[in-house]
Amino acid sequence: MADATANMTGATKQGKPALLKTADGKPLKAALISAQAAARRRAFLLVLPLLAFVLITFVMPIGQMLHQSFYNSGFTIHEDIGTRTETPIMQNISAWFDENPAGTEPDEAAFAALHHDFLLLRELRAPGQVGTRINYERSGSRSLFTKTARGAERMEPPYREAFIDVDEDWTDPELWRVMRDASSAYTINFYLAALDFSKNADGEIVSVNENRQIYITLFQRTLFLSVLITFLTFVLGYPVAHLLATLPLRYSNLLMIFVLLPFWTSLLVRTTSWMVLLQGQGVVNNTLVAAGIVGDNSRLEMMYNQTGTVVAMTHILLPFMILPLYSVMRPINPSYVRAARSLGATSWTAFRRIYFPQTVPGIGAGALLVFILSVGYYITPALVGGASGQLISNLIAFHMQNSLNWSLAAALAALLLAGILILYWLYDRLIGIDNLKLG
C-alpha cells in the first residue's frame, strides 16, 4: 500500500496525471489517434473505387458540358485531327478587334488583317471550320467564308473593295459583330441563344424575332408536359399502390408482377407498341370505329402530337410513381383509419386527415422522380411526339448530332440542369429532403 501511494505521488507530484500507456509502451492518446486515422484510411480506400467511378462518369462529364457551354474555339484555333496539333488562326483580325472598340467601322487595316488570315485558312483548309462557327449566330456565313477563301490569293489592295467584290455581306455590321464576339473563345452568346436572345450590331442584348423564338417555347412545353405527366401518374398510380399495400400478400405479389413487367421489356419495344396502338389505322382507332363511337373518316389523331407523347410517357413512367407510394403505404397501420372511423369520422375524413398525410413523403419522392425523368426524356417524344410533341431534349440531340453546335446543346442542357436543381431546392425548402422516401 505504501509503495502504491509512493508511485502515485511520484506520478502526480508536479500536478500532472499519470500518463497511460498501451502494452507496447506507446502513449494511449497517440495510439487512439493513430488507430482512428488508420480506420479512416481503410474506409477511404474502400469507397475510393466508387468515388473514382462517380468522378469519371458523372462529375467530369457535367464539368465538360458546362465548360463547353461557354467555350468554342472554332474561330481562333484549328486542330489537325491527323496530327492532333493546334494552330492559332484569325490572329490578325482578332488583334484588330482588340485595338478597336465595339462599333468601330472596319477600315482598310481590318480588311488587310482579314486577308492575311484567309491566306492561312486556305493553307490549312479551315475556312469551313471558321465559317461554321460564325454560322451558329449568323446564317449563311459558312458559304461566305468558303467562297472568300477560294479567291483570297487573287486579292490585291485595296482589300476592302476586293472583299466587297466577292460578296457585299462583308459590309454587314452584324457579321463583324459576330466575328468580334467569336474572336474570344469564351462567350455567353450560346446561353443568350438558348434563351432566345441575341446581340445587335452595337453589342446590346435584345430578343430575337418572334418567328425565331423556339427555345423558350420548348422549355415551356417541356415543363407543362412534365407536370401533366407527373399528375397523371399520381392519379393512376395512387389507387394501384393502395391496392398493393392493402391486398392479401398472395394477390399483391401477383399485382406487383404486372407493375414490374414493363421493366423487363425494352423501352423501344414499349414505345413502338404505342405507335401501333395510337396510329390512325391502329388498334384504338379501329376499335372505336368498329364500336360506332367514331366514324371511319373522323379517326382520332393520337400520333405525332402531344397526345401521343403524354399517353406513352405516362404509361412508361407509371411504375416510378407506384413503387415509392407503395413503399410508404405498406408500413401504415390500418388500425389508424379504423380508430378514426370508430370515433365518428367519415371515410373521406379518415382518408384526408389520417391516411393521406402519411403518404405525402411517397408522393413527393414519386413526383420528383417522374418529373426529373420526364424533362430529360428523348426516345418516346422523338418517336411518337412529332413536331408538336417533342421536348427540349430532342432539340439538344439535334444540335449534338445534326447541326454539330455542341456549345448551344451544352448551354441548353446546362439550363435544364439548373432548372432541375432549382426544383430540388424548392422541394427541400417546402417539404424537406429528409421527408423523401423511396423505400
Q: What is the pLDDT of residues 187-232, one digit of tens each?
A: 999 999 999 999 887 778 999 888 888 999 999 999 999 999 999 9
Report the residue count for the chain.
439
The residue-averaged pLDDT of 161-182 equals: 94
Give pLDDT tens digits for 40-77: 999 999 999 999 999 999 999 999 999 999 999 999 99
Cis ω before 49 (30° cut-off from 0): no
pLDDT band at 6 (very low <50, low <70, confident <90, very high): very low
CA 200: distance to chain centroid?
A: 29
Give pLDDT tens digits for 336-368: 888 998 888 898 999 999 999 999 889 988 999
pLDDT at 437: 60
User: Given the DSSP bridges, would you call strands 205-207 and 85-88 parallel, antiparallel or unpaired?
Assistant: unpaired
pLDDT band at 29 (very low <50, low <70, confident <90, very high): confident
pLDDT at 438: 56
CB atoms near residue 107 (< 10 Å): 11
pLDDT at 1: 40
CA dihedral (122, 126, 128, 132) in degrees, to 10, reads: -140
Contact criterion met (CB below 8 Å) for 334 and 350? no
pLDDT of 11 over the 70 cut: no
Give pLDDT tens digits for 357-402: 999 889 988 999 999 999 988 888 988 988 788 899 999 999 999 9
CB atoms near residue 88 (< 10 Å): 11
Contact criterion met (CB below 8 Å) for 159 and 108? yes
pLDDT at 431: 73
Residue extents of the structural domains in the chain: 26-66, 77-185, 215-435
Pick the CATH number of 215-435 from 1.10.730.10, 1.10.150.120, 1.10.3720.10, 1.50.10.20: 1.10.3720.10
